[in-house]
Chain A
Amino acid sequence: MEYKDYYQIMGVERNATQDEIKRAYRKLARKYHPDVSKEADAEQRFKEVGEANEVLKDPEKRAAYDQLGANWKGGQDFNAPPDWDAGFEFGGGGYTGGSAGQHGFSEADASAYSDFFESLFGQRFEQSGKGAGGQYGQQGFHPGGGDHHAKILIDLEDAMNGATRSISLRVPDVDAGGHVTTKERVLKINIPKGIKQGQHIRLGGQGNPGMGQGKAGDLYLEIEFNPHGIYHVEGRDVYLDLPVAPWEAALGASIKAPTPGGIVDLKIKPGSVNGSKMRLKGRGIPASSSNKSAGDLYVVLQVALPPAGTDSEKEAYEKMQQSFSYNPRAKLGV
């Protein structure tokens, strides 16, 4: 297993005071909180920092950890020496965040901590964990499983037509011996037609399983669209930048345009300019329910300049120059 350099993770010196550690933790927790940070690895970093804090904030655990020596490097292969912790008492149990329960990401979710932590402090957790379980048992209370949040990437086409997607979730699993491991759970999910970027699908009872007879939590899937090669999406409206030739814009034309629902014929009005916007009603993302309306497709004209490569093309530009008395910089006063 890999050695974890908790001091490096927290960005403090090995001789940092408890106050310094506390401040470093609070700063990093704010920075990497998954609700705040948009970094892809925020959740991972937040858990790492939580684990480092779990050890360093507790003088007993910190002393035991320090005793391993300062010569280890993060990521180095590590095995706990036998009796490495002789003479230490971890009164609080391995995971002191236990009361957090299902409230936050910082929950004392045993599966969130590394094997390294587990090998050093884990056994005591199991003892104290059972103790806590016993307490619940006495009250006849079965804690419910936490809600599970995940993001799912879909394509615009999936929102247009509806789709089925497989997703895999890592969920904590408690075996008969009370050991917590993570296992992978694969679910097939219907993506409802008409869903928008940033919306959430709620699947009741598909979150983390509860303990005993406790109810399972819910599963929340946040929808994110893969960037599309030709469209961009705002709510249910879809935008298309459509290149047109200067003569098509100036003289008007009948051209073909792609839409998410298929190719359409489009009439360009004479005298259209760069950035002219045309609205195709109801051709965006369809409505998700009867009280919602379908989005529109906006076609934004982009006048493309044909290169003057051949002699006859150059000649055509020269003719234009002669025919127009056009100063594109008139507004700039030059």
Chain B
Amino acid sequence: MVKQTTDILSGYILEDENRLTLRQLCDACAVRAEYIIELVDEGFIEPTGVERSHWCFSGISIKRVQTAKRLQHDLGINLAGVVLAIELIDEIESLRARVGRM
């Protein structure tokens, strides 16, 4: 995934990746599938595809799952609380961006 051409590294844009399977998402975040399924049930990350075996996640899900995991672990918040916190943080961030443009 990372090309090493004359020592310049090229990654990919996480948000443009759109075809992560459940397994790949678990590996990237070092979590178990059950954890991902719980987050999907909360509506926190939204895969395309109906059946689990056909789930496709966007790259940004990696970031979201990792943040949830960190907050849960560091602050001892339960899953619903973490989801609420992150959604509020996202909202604050978009408001901040709007204020910054004014």
Q: Is the CB of A106 within 8 A of B13?
A: no
Closest to B60 in A: A200
Q: In the bound complex, what is the Cα–Cα distance between A257 and B19 (angstroms)?
A: 41
Q: Is B50 an interface residue (CB 8 A)?
A: no
Q: Could you name 14 residue pairs across A and B whose Cβ atoms are closer than 8 Å? A: A26-B75, A30-B75, A35-B89, A103-B69, A105-B74, A106-B74, A164-B8, A189-B9, A190-B11, A200-B63, A202-B13, A202-B59, A220-B63, A232-B101
> Which of B10, B11, B28, B63: most chain A CB closer than 10 A?
B11
Within 8 A of A (CB), among B53-94: 59-60, 62-63, 66-67, 69-71, 73-76, 85-86, 89, 93
Q: Is the CB of A199 within 8 A of B15?
A: yes
**A192-B74 in contact given A36-B85, A102-B30 (Cβ < 8 Å):** no
Closest to B6 in A: A188
**A188-B9 in contact given A200-B15, A202-B14, A205-B2 (Cβ < 8 Å):** yes
Q: Is the CB of B13 within 8 A of A201?
A: yes
Closest to B5 in A: A190
Cβ distance A149 to chain B, nearest Cβ, rounded Å: 8
1/0 per residue, CB under 8 A from B, across A212-252: the answer is 00000011110000000000101000000000000000000
Which of A104, A196, A200 meets B70, CB within 8 Å? A104
Residues of chain B within 8 A of A103, CB atoms compared: 69-70, 73
Taking Cβ atoms with an 8 Å cutoff, the residues of A that contact B are 26, 29-30, 33, 35-36, 38, 100, 102-106, 144, 147, 164, 187-190, 192, 195-196, 199-206, 218-221, 232, 234, 288-289, 292
Q: Is the CB of B73 within 8 A of A104?
A: yes
Residues of chain A within 8 A of B41, CB atoms compared: none
Q: In the bound complex, what is the Cα–Cα distance between A218 and B12 (angstroms)?
A: 12
Residues of chain A within 8 A of B2, CB atoms compared: 203-206
Q: Binding site of A, secondary structure by majority: helix, strand, loop or mixed?
A: loop
Q: Is the CB of B101 within 8 A of A147?
A: no
Taking Cβ atoms with an 8 Å cutoff, the residues of B that contact A are 1-2, 7-17, 28, 30, 59-60, 62-63, 66-67, 69-71, 73-76, 85-86, 89, 93, 96, 101
Closest to B1 in A: A204
A-B CB contacts (within 8 Å), total count: 98
Residues of chain A within 8 A of B1, CB atoms compared: 202-205
Residues of chain B within 8 A of A195, CB atoms compared: 13
- 7 closest cross-chain pairs (CB), A and B: A203-B11, A200-B14, A204-B1, A104-B74, A104-B73, A190-B10, A201-B11
**A188-B8 in contact given A36-B85, A38-B96, A204-B2 (Cβ < 8 Å):** yes
Q: Is the CB of B14 within 8 A of A199?
A: yes
Q: Is the CB of B15 within 8 A of A33?
A: no
Q: In the bound complex, what is the Cα–Cα distance between A204 and B20 (angstroms)?
A: 14
> Which of B9, B28, B60, B86: most chain A CB closer than 10 A?
B9
> Which of A29, A36, A189: most chain B CB closer than 10 A?
A36
**A220-B14 in contact given A103-B69, A206-B2, A234-B101 (Cβ < 8 Å):** yes
Q: In the bound complex, what is the Cα–Cα distance between A188 and B10 (angstroms)?
A: 9
